[in-house]
Amino acid sequence: MAKSIPALITPVVLKWARNFDAISTEQAAKHMNVPIETIESSENGEAYPTLPQAKKLAKYYRVPFAYLYLPDEPHKTKRLDKVDYRTFGNNGIAEYSRELHWLLRDIEERRDTIIELYKENGMKPKTFQITYPMISQYLLTISNLI
């Protein structure tokens, strides 16, 4: 039987990819059908996953497979942990679902791409004015009730 070819990926980037999508080692191990120690040893550089395993991890972590071969973590900012001022009492959402987390990440990446394209072409993004005539009436009513 042929031996599996190890994927000589960068352990730091593998850990970054998992954390970037807020996936626990337990979730990754369950998805890969391997013990948690296998995921941890891959992230610590003690062992390497096989090529098919690395591809499966990249797909599960929702990062391009080539990222795993970068010498260091990509310089992507994670803005999802900011305080959400649109919630009552500034409590925010306790825990995002994986799908919501990925959707927000995708939206931010697309926004950053558009802003970068505007800058490269020497253009300024258009601004727009938001008016709240109806909302301010509702807020006034609510504040009077409180």
Encode pLDDT of 96-132 as tens digits: 777 887 888 888 888 888 888 999 999 987 776 666 6
Residue 90 has a pLDDT of 54
What dotted CATH number matches 11-69?
Answer: 1.10.260.40
Question: Which amino acid is located at 140 in the chain?
Answer: L
pLDDT tens readout for residues 62-96? 888 998 999 888 876 555 555 555 555 555 556 77
What pLDDT does residue 89 have?
Answer: 56
Q: How far apart are CA 114 and CA 120, in angstroms?
A: 10
Does residue 1 register a pLDDT over 50? no
Three-state SS at 7: coil
Angle, CA 21 vertex, CA 28 and CA 18 arms, to 5°: 45
Q: How many CB atoms lie within 10 A of CB 13?
A: 20
Tell me, what's the pLDDT at 99? 81
SS3 33: coil
CA 86, chain centre distance (Å): 21
**Domain boundaries, given as residue ranges, for the chain:** 11-69, 88-145
3-state secondary structure of 31: helix
pLDDT digits (tens, 9 = 90+) for 45-66: 899 999 999 999 999 998 889 9
